[in-house]
Amino acid sequence: MNDSVSSHVLLPLRPAPRFSRESPQVVRVLDQIRFQLDADESMAEFCWFAREYPRVYRHHFGHIEHRLRSIYQRYQKAHEHFSVELSKSDPNCVGMSTSSLETLMVYWDFEAFLNALGAALDVLARLVGTAFKEQTPPSFTKLCKRHERDGCIGILRTAQDRWVSRMKNYRDCFVHYTCVDTMLTFACNQYSDGFEVRCRLPSNPNARDIMRFRFSRRLDVLRYACSTYKNLLALDRAIASQIFKDYESGAFPKRTSNLFFLGTRMQTDASSKVVGRVMP
């Protein structure tokens, strides 16, 4: 094989994410628990909660998977496009790019992906809230500030340190400050092992400024989205396992009533009188 041909090798896309047809593990575990408690009238409110709120969690989970699937499909189209273009290109070509509605949709899907992740994590925090007798915060971030070091809180805090905080940095950057660039492109760049299709993603989202963003080959939209989705699956499995472990030991659920407003924000007026009200 001569140099001109080898330099035009287009690297394959990473494998497509594997999506399960089953509900998230947390949903299945809470279903299993509520089925066992359904005959106990004192658990009626908890069983209602364990049926309805996991469905909200599943809704956001489905949204996450839909956006990731859409991103992957657009990468596939771009890969097919560049495969054709490279076959016709000059032997000295070292890269090419394209900007179109399809490219914009990748980034729109990615922003929606991040927002759906944040929503799923906040609902997960509400589900974990039934492990405590007292009212718990309505958000993932605030729940992680509790003093517990083990159990579900420990699992959530580990996820926060490993990947959730960074995910929220991307979300905050793109929602409140700026997009990746004013000219978003699908690029097909040459590296030592061949050409690679990518939509670039800054490695320093907290810069929140197009001119200050830094980029690396090791990071792009699809790679990051797939990695984050895998992290979410691992978190879902870990929380489900902990909930069932606590249930079998009699430590879950601890809060079985006054669940209609679990995790809701309380509003107060200037006189500090409660406007929102938790059921007595």
In degrees and rounded to multiples of 5, residue 57 shows phi and psi of -60, -45
In a domain, 257, yes or no: no
Q: What pLDDT, on the 0 to 100 scale, is given for residue 265?
A: 52
Contact yes or no for 96/225 (Cβ under 8 A): no
Query: What confidence category does residue 79 fall into, taking pLDDT thresholds of 50, 70 and 90?
Result: very high
pTM: 0.89
pLDDT, position 269: 42
Dist CA 96 CA 84 (whole Å): 12
Is 105 exposed, middle or buried, given 0-12, 13-18 or 19+ CB atoms closer than 10 A? Answer: middle
Distance of alpha carbon 7 from alpha carbon 191, whole angstroms: 9
Question: Per residue, what are the HEC states of the chain?
Answer: CCHHHHCCCECCCCCCCCCCCCCCHHHHHHHHHHHHHCCCHHHHHHHHHHHHHHHHHHHHHHHHHHHHHHHHHHHHHHHHHHHHHHHHCCCCCCEEEECCHHHHHHHHHHHHHHHHHHHHHHHHHHHHHHHCCCCCCCCHHHHCCCCCCCHHHHHHHHHHHHHHHHHHHHHHHHHHCCCCCCCCCEEEEEECCEEEEECECCCCHHHCCHHHCCCCCCCEHHHHHHHHHHHHHHHHHHHHHHHHHHHHCCCCCCCCCCCCCCCCCCCECCCCCECCCCCC
Query: How does pLDDT run across 185-232, given as a tens digit for each residue?
Result: 999 999 999 999 999 999 999 999 999 999 999 999 999 999 999 999
Percent of the chain with pLDDT over 70: 90
Q: Which domain does 122 fall in, by range?
A: 23-248
Residue among 127, 155, 125 nearest 142 (CA): 125
CA 22 to chain centroid:
18
Report if residue 87 sits inside a domain: yes
Q: Is residue 267 part of a domain?
A: no
CA 80 vs. chain centroid, Å, equals: 27
Whether 156 is in a domain gets the answer yes
Number of domains in the chain: 1
Q: Report how far apart the first and last C-alpha atoms of the chain are (Å, whole number).
A: 78
pLDDT at 273: 43
The predicted structure's pLDDT at residue 2: 42
Q: Is residue 69 part of a domain?
A: yes
Statement: residue 97 has pLDDT above 60: yes
Omega within 30 of 0 (cis) for the link into 253? yes
Query: Is the separation of the CB atoms in 194 and 1 below 8 Å?
Result: no
- Rounded to 5 degrees, φ, ψ at 248 are -65, -30
- Residue 39 counted as domain residue: yes
The answer to whether residue 89 scores a pLDDT higher than 70 is: yes
Q: Is residue 175 part of a domain?
A: yes
Mean pLDDT, range 117-141, rounded to an integer: 93
Does residue 5 sit within a domain?
A: no
